[in-house]
Amino acid sequence: MTTESIADQDEIDAKNAAFWDELCGSQLAQQIGISDDSPASLKKFDDWYFDFYPYLYRHIPFARMKTKRVLEVGLGYGTVSQKIAESGAHYHGLDIAAGPVGMAAHRCRLIGANDAIVQQGSILNPPFDDDTFDWVVAIGCLHHTGNLPDAIKAVEKLLKPGGQAMIMVYSAASYRQFASEPIRTSMRKLGSGMRAYSAPAGDEDERVAYDANLKGAAAPQTEFVTKSELRQLCKGFSDIQIRAENIGAEGILRFVPRPFLNRWVGPRFGLDLYCSLVK
Ligand SMILES: C[S@@+](CC[C@H](N)C(=O)[O-])C[C@H]1O[C@@H](n2cnc3c(N)ncnc32)[C@H](O)[C@@H]1O
């Protein structure tokens, strides 16, 4: 890395630490009437979360994490953090912002997960030795770091040989992308197997549709990838399985039953790519 790119990355990290200090999911919490972090309020939030994203139970095999060393990267409101810690895993949480670190630590205390370790820091410069974890889980995080290729490499390094990762990143070829930019999206999808990934970042209008804070501002950095680009970025792993999921609730979609969307539309044109990896 050049001195200039280190300075650029420092600036992105600072923006991310400030933006994500407000917990991701705060808009939802407000909509469903949650204003504190009591066990009852957190349960209400988590019930909504797993109800809206039911396939998470399939993609994150919580029961198989028991006794394993698990690192979660990008903690947000801490729903997945709590589930991993409750599974009996040796839970480690890492997030660039103080707010999510405080929330995950609070949840671990509430459930008596006394050996859990939750730290503030970046996956691009992780405070762990290589070959440390049996599992790494990063849902909706790596595409916000400002350097998706290096974030994926960092995940690979942190895993023990044979270790597994579940990462979720945003698709560059979802129904939303096809609807807003049909030609650009089709060209990207067609060409994506043929050229190297060049970290194209979304513009403000695009980013705000995915992650906005309570004031309506977009996340500072968001990258989008096609399945072929993601395969290329994960080529250091011995096994890669990718499945699209998640159709939002905008416009007419809110009138379509979710089980139908999840079953038939999500896997073809979903917003998110769930990528299961073995080192
Ligand atoms: C969209 S939220 C996802 C949170 C949670 N996994 C979920 O699905 O609700 C993204 C999270 O990634 C964190 N994050 C962003 N850049 C990061 C980095 N370089 N290292 C670690 N965490 C980062 C943010 O602070 C934020 O908590």
pLDDT at 5: 76
CB neighbour list of residue 271: distance below 8 Å, 6 or more residues apart: 170, 171, 174, 175, 176, 210, 244, 245, 246, 247, 248
Is residue 248 within 8 Å of 236, Cβ to Cβ? no
Atom of ligand 1 nearest to the CA of 139: 6
pLDDT at 187: 85
> Is residue 25 in contact with ligand 1, taking CB distance under 6 Å?
yes
pLDDT at 199: 60
> Is residue 73 in contact with ligand 1, taking CB distance under 6 Å?
yes
- Number of structural domains found in the chain: 1
User: In the predicted model, what is the mean pLDDT of the chain?
Assistant: 94
Range(s) of the domain holding residue 197: 3-278
Is 192 in a helix, a strand, or coil?
coil
> Is residue 126 in contact with ligand 1, taking CB distance under 6 Å?
no
DSSP 261: I
- pLDDT tens digits for 177-207? 898 889 888 888 887 766 677 666 668 888 8
Q: Ligand 1 centroid vs 144 CA: distance in angstroms?
A: 7
Compute the distance between CA of residue 153 and CA of residue 204 in angstroms, rounded to an integer: 27
Q: Ligand 1 centroid vs 1 CA: distance in angstroms?
A: 23
pLDDT at 201: 67
> Is residue 189 in contact with ligand 1, taking CB distance under 6 Å?
no
- pLDDT tens digits for 213-254? 999 999 999 999 999 999 999 999 999 999 999 998 888 899
Nearest Cα residue to atom 18 of ligand 1: 122
pLDDT at 200: 64
> Is residue 97 in contact with ligand 1, taking CB distance under 6 Å?
yes
pLDDT by residue, tens only, the chain of 279 residues: 677 777 799 999 999 999 999 999 999 999 999 999 999 999 999 999 999 999 999 999 999 999 999 999 999 999 999 999 999 999 999 999 999 999 999 999 999 999 999 999 999 999 999 999 999 999 999 999 999 999 999 999 999 999 999 999 999 999 998 988 898 888 888 877 666 776 666 688 888 989 999 999 999 999 999 999 999 999 999 999 999 999 988 888 999 999 999 999 999 999 999 999 999
Region of 128 on the Ramachandran plot (φ > 0 left; ψ -120 to 50 alpha; else beta): beta
pLDDT at 168: 98
> Is residue 223 in contact with ligand 1, taking CB distance under 6 Å?
no
> Is residue 140 in contact with ligand 1, taking CB distance under 6 Å?
yes
> Is residue 93 in contact with ligand 1, taking CB distance under 6 Å?
no
> Is residue 124 in contact with ligand 1, taking CB distance under 6 Å?
yes
Atom of ligand 1 nearest to the CA of 17: 25
- Could you tell me the CATH number of the domain that includes residue 177? 3.40.50.150
pLDDT at 248: 87
Backbone angles phi, psi at 5, to 5 degrees: -70, -30
